[in-house]
Amino acid sequence: MEIYVQLAWNILTLGALFGLMAASFSVIFSVTGVVHVAHGGVIMAAGYIFYSFVELGVPALAAATAGIFAAGTLGVILNILVYEPLRRRRRVGTGMMIASVALLIILQNTLLAVWSSQTRTIDLPFLHLPPYSVWGALVSPLSVLIFVTSTIMFLGIFWLMHKTRLGKAMRAVSDQEDVAEVVGINARRVRQITFFVGSVVAGVAGILAAMLYNLDPSRTVTYAVDAFSYAIVGGIGSIPGALFGTYLLTTLSTLGGFYGATAIKSVFAFLAAFVILLVRPEGLLGKKRL
């Protein structure tokens, strides 16, 4: 019995963490149309900056703020330097995607050059606290933090998209950019803000992930691919879809791992995304196609 509580909690927290990555990737795609593979680099950059500040003795909360803000800024810079110029040159299809893959490689290797390939571990007293025991399952304080933070972030994204003027503008640009421009929405500015918001959410996920796993530049590609697969399965461009896709695949891979098929785990996520792209390119809950 305890083992099932444990599994459920693991799925809940992992899904929340990767759901953040997938949802922020999805928001950016839905509003700007950019298949932002380099998102993985933004996620990791936040983690590394957080790590460096923690090492310098900066309080954890301040270090996290710095990492999150750096991620947001990085996202905006990438948009200004690469995606907007490509858009002006009307190269929004394959060219944009290759550019994003190139950016991912550049970010990954910059992290490698600055922080080396050595594995970095975040060392905070908070991470050494003993886990709580809930119905026989071990619940670490970190997993509670991950779950609570992610839930707040999801509610925040939902509030932003559906209850604010900015969110309305974002949805308008997502639906029909030209029409949005006609009614006086500055689409370029909306895209800029979207990149900031999406990258901030990615930064939060990156910092949580840095505490849960360790930091290692090769994770850049892993996170990019994970966020992309989950978003595709759920329906790229839809936030509930991103969450749904993440939980679906996390559940399947966690159960797969539990029943001894760890090797199947990574193959399975790719295969699921692949098959869904093939038979239903808009994903399970999505409306937009890649």
Partner 1 sequence: MEAYVIHVVTLAAIFLIATLAFNLQTGWAGMLSLGHAAMMGVGGYTLALLLRHTDAPYFIALLAGVCLAGALSAGFSVLSRKITSHTYSVLTLWFGFVIAAVLMNWRELTRGALGIPGIARPAGFAEEFPFLLLVLTITTLVYLVVDRLTRSPWGRALGAMRDDEVAATTLGKNVVAMKITVSAIAGGIAGLSGALLASFLRFIDPGTFGLPLLVLLLVFLVVGGLASLPGTVLGVVSLLAVREGLRFLPFSPELVGAFREIVFAGALLLVILYRPKGLLGKVELE
Binding segment for partner 1 among 124-132, 134-142, 144-152, 267-275 (CB under 8 A)? Answer: 267-275
CA-to-CA distance for 290 and 33, rounded, in angstroms? 8
Q: Of 127 and 290, which has the nearer Cβ to partner 1?
A: 290
> What is the torsion angle, in degrees rounded to the nearest 10, for the CA atoms of residue 201, residue 204, residue 208 and residue 210?
100
Instruction: Give dist(CA 13, CA 19) in Å, integer.
Output: 9
What is the full DSSP assignment across 87-111? HHTT--SHHHHHHHHHHHHHHHHHH
Footprint on residues 170-229 left by partner 1 (CB under 8 A): 221, 225, 229
Candidate residues 12, 44, 103, 239; the one interacting with partner 1 per rule CB under 8 A: 103
Nearer to partner 1, 151 or 266 (CB): 266
**Contacting partner 1 within 105-124 (CB under 8 A):** 105-106, 108-110, 112-113, 116-117
Measured CA to CA in angstroms, residue 36 lies from 79, 184, 191, 242 at distances of 10, 26, 13, 15
- Residues that contact partner 1, how many (by CB under 8 A): 40
Centre a 10 Å sphere on the Cβ of residue 220 and count the other Cβ atoms it contains. Answer: 26
CB 231 to partner 1: min, Å: 11
Contact status: 274 vs partner 1 (CB under 8 A): yes
Distances 26 to 9, 15, 206, 223, 290 between C-alpha atoms, Å:
25, 15, 16, 14, 11
Write out the two tokens for 50. Answer: 């957080």
Q: Min. distance of Cβ 12 from partner 1 in angstroms?
A: 25
**Residue 94 CB, nearest distance to partner 1 (Å)?**
5
Stretch 38-97 residues interacting with partner 1 (CB under 8 A): 82, 85-86, 89, 91, 93-95, 97
Helix (H) or strand (E) holding 72: helix 60-78
List strand residue ranges (DSSP E) for the chain, in order: 132-134, 137-139
- Report in angstroms how near the CB of residue 112 gets to partner 1 at its nearest: 4
240 or 281, CB closer to partner 1? 281
The answer to whether the beta carbons of residues 281 and 289 sit under 8 Å apart is yes
**Least separation in angstroms between CB 191 and partner 1:** 18
Give the nearest distance from C-beta 286 to partner 1 in angstroms. 13
Could you list the residues that contact partner 1 (CB under 8 A)?
35, 82, 85-86, 89, 91, 93-95, 97-99, 101-103, 105-106, 108-110, 112-113, 116-117, 221, 225, 229, 263-264, 266-267, 270-271, 273-274, 277-278, 281, 289-290
